[in-house]
Structure 1
Amino acid sequence: MTWLKQSKEQRSDGEALLRSLDRSLATIEFAMDGTILDANPNFLALMGYDLEEVRGRHHRMFVEPGVAESEAYRDFWQDLKRGHYQSAEFKRIGRGGREVWIQATYNPILDRHGRPVRVVKFATDVTDETRRNADFRGQVAAVNKSQAVAHLAMDGTLLDANDVFLRLFGYEREAVVSQHHRIFMEPAAVEGWDYASFWQKLRAGEYQQGEFKRVAHGGREVWIQASYNPILDRDGRPFKVVKFATDVTATKLRTADFTGQFEAISRSQAVIQFDLDGVVLDANENFCDAMGYRVGDIRGHHHRMFVEPAYAASREYDEFWQRLRRGEFFSAIFERVGRNGRKVSIQATYNPILDMNGRPFKVVKYATDVTLNMEARARAVGATAQTLSNVQSVAAAAEQMSASVSEIAGVMVRSKMAVDTINGEAEVADHAQMRLRQAAQSMDGVVQAITKIAEQINLLALNATIEAVRAGEAGKGFAIVANEVKNLANQATVATSRISEEIAAMQGVSDEVADTLASISKGISSVQEFVTQAACAIEEQSAVTRDISVSMQNAAVDVRSIGEGLAAWA
């Protein structure tokens, strides 16, 4: 009775266990040939059928046709017929071809003689989990194809690494497995506190992510974008670290280059950033200094705060921002307004920045303060205008001087002709004076002859007087005649003497005239030489003056062009 009671209790416990399993699991029973005998509601709901739709049909209705015809499927049932237990994750097909994954056990039920008489299958729906796992496996496979992956023990020892990691660092797997992570570090970095803290955080289960500088085989520098991921066990304790890394060395170098260039620009130029509506996002110190603001004074304000109100309200200004929003680039000298209305001139470029799809998303402006240059240029334009006026005045004066010099040259030519005429006439007068002198000399000879005759007559008169005295009374008349002759001789002597004096005076005057004519001739020769030299000099001066006039006209044209260029560039 005790045995029967125990047997009954055991059957009761077994039935209770089966009922419990039936409530929680998907259960189905098969004959040993695979024909369906029964199925509980959990199974039917899982596969999407009613009991009448599956009872009496073969198990192959739940598998893909290719699987049902396979040798592995036949072996699967042969093993069950031999009483072998089957447990695994299986892919099955529900109503409408829906894919169902189950974690199942196929349990052969034995009779009293140990022979299998039917098969009971207990299953759990793991479709979602299987899909998640498949997704995880796919992601891991994809990551392994594209990223460097390394598995590290909590003490930093390398457990494994994929091919991408090994290629990146230039090692064979055997050379790095069981080595410490420090082989990828610079010695100085290994000794630092940051590296020790890095591993302390990982051992505490803290995720580490960032850009890291590492050392590959042969000391080659490598930059990686990496995440160090502590993997937790069921109790939430980290037991290893998986590292996912991407080689960003080339990008890092490009970024360093770009950053260096941008920092260099920021140090030397005024930089401000706007959104596409013109609202200020940020500005560097150079820009704030140029405009007289602090960055907090302008951030969030519209660009129109830097322009004249009339221009800000104009269609031109609206079109300016519309064109920037379309991605158009602007470069020019702009007049802007700083703090307290101060005028500021800037040489600036407005550069639309494009996103990954080539669409503008902000505008960066690079500018240089050229206010002093523009003021100097304005002064230069004014000075150029004044210079142009002066040059034009000088050119006009040069033209007038050229005309005057030409007129003087004509006068000097005529003066030379007049002097040449005077010189000729002086030579004629000199020749006449010489003839006069010769005539005076000739007259002096005549006077001398007359004087001698007068002396002879006077001597004859004296002799006649003597003879008349000797003749007495008979010679009285002759004496009277002799006396008259003597008087005439005396008068002739006196007249001749006066003539001689006059001739001598005329000779003196003639000598003075000769000397004067000689001085005049000499002076005329000097004047003639001077006039000739002056005429030549004035002719040369006239040519030079004409060249100066032409040069000044050309200079006026050049200065006008410079002034127009400065005004246009301003």
Structure 2
Amino acid sequence: MFFKTKKAKPAAQDDGAKLMASVVDRTQAVVQFKPDGTILAANGNFLAVMGYRLEEVVDRNYAMFAGSEVAASAEYKAFWQDLANGEVVRGQFPRRAKDGATVWLQVAYAPVKGADGAIDRVVAVATDVTVRRQGLQEIAKGLDAMSQGDLGARVKLSDQPDIGALGEAFNRSAEQLETAMGSVTQVSGAVQRTAGEISKSAGDLSQRTESQAATLEQTAAAIEELTETVQSSAEGAQKVEGIVIEAKATAEHSGKVVKDAVEAMSQIETSSEEIAKIIGMIDDIAFQTNLLALNAGVEAARAGEAGRGFAVVASEVRALAQRSAGAAGEIKQLIGESKQQVASGVDLVGKTGEELQQIIESVGTISTHISRIAAGAKEQATSLGEINMGVSQLDQVTQQNAAMVEETSAASRLLSADAGQLTQEVAKFKTGTPLASAPAAEVVQFQAPAAPAADGFGAAPLAAAHGWDDF
């Protein structure tokens, strides 16, 4: 029973192997060739894919399905070396059909050893992935166009459901990206214009602020000088006020002196009248003395020799009386003139007193006004000091504002430059939205990205649809 079972197992395995070989033969493209590349056999699927008949490929070298350039490459030699070492090689490879078209095959090259352990043949089991590959290459072309800034590129949908879904997703994404970039283009243009206007306004504001700061600085200096001048004027007004007060006191004292002088002149006038009365009395006495001397002389004449001496005395007394009367007349005349002069002096001194009183009143008025002026000047000095302080603070704030405006102007210029850079970057993309509303920007040459690395299957970049970079 045991040996029966042992005998039955190889038969089952043979049947399974035949079944799998049959399935592979029916579903896959299979080709067999020697280690040197001589083709031993090829199934119908392989021949149908490549467009040959069996007799056209048997005993020919497998290199017939590769281009001469690929066949001469180092990679192709390494491929054969790996097979010779018994290694299985898998990947997607481009192969050339009979009509010259490129056929992409998903291949597994499996070396088969003989009884002696040496590589007897290589069996290649392949699947035609040309349609899938073309669909991927179509999407690769679209991605390459998108990488170059062309957002209007659309891909042809593949018949393969998954690749077709991927292409459809690409087209939707490209459409949405084109719409978004169109909006970004419009917005970037508006941002650039706005940034330019802000930059220009900030520049103008900076200039005006600098001018205002300079003007305010000059104003502050002028107000400071005016403050010093008003302070000096206030001090001068206070000094003048003191001088006027002293002058008023002196004038009042002078008025009192004039008043005393008027009183003294009045007393002199009164004394002159008394003297005039006395002189009149003296004049009367001289007149009576003269009469008495005249009578005495008449009586002495009557007495003759006896009254001669008395007559001489009477004559002398008469002469003295006449001289006294003359002197009294002269004094009376002088006193009269002096009285007139004293009266005139009293009148003049009175008028002087009146004028001096008016001067005192005027000086009082001037003193009042000067006091008001001094007080006003002091208040003006105080106010100007406060104004000067306020202007100084305003000047400081204006200087700070000028510095801030300068920083804002620099930021605006940077924003304008960034907006211009954004516009230039957006201009690299080709969309259906015109860039008419955006301001003119310097054109920057687009730098093509570096070529992508080969895919995981050993294929060339997807954009190279018919490249022969692989073996």
Q: TM-score, normalised by structure 2?
A: 0.44
The structure with the largest strand share of the pair is: 1
The structure with the largest helix share of the pair is: 2
Q: TM-score, normalised by structure 1?
A: 0.37
The structure with higher relative contact order (CA 8 Å, sep 6+) is 2
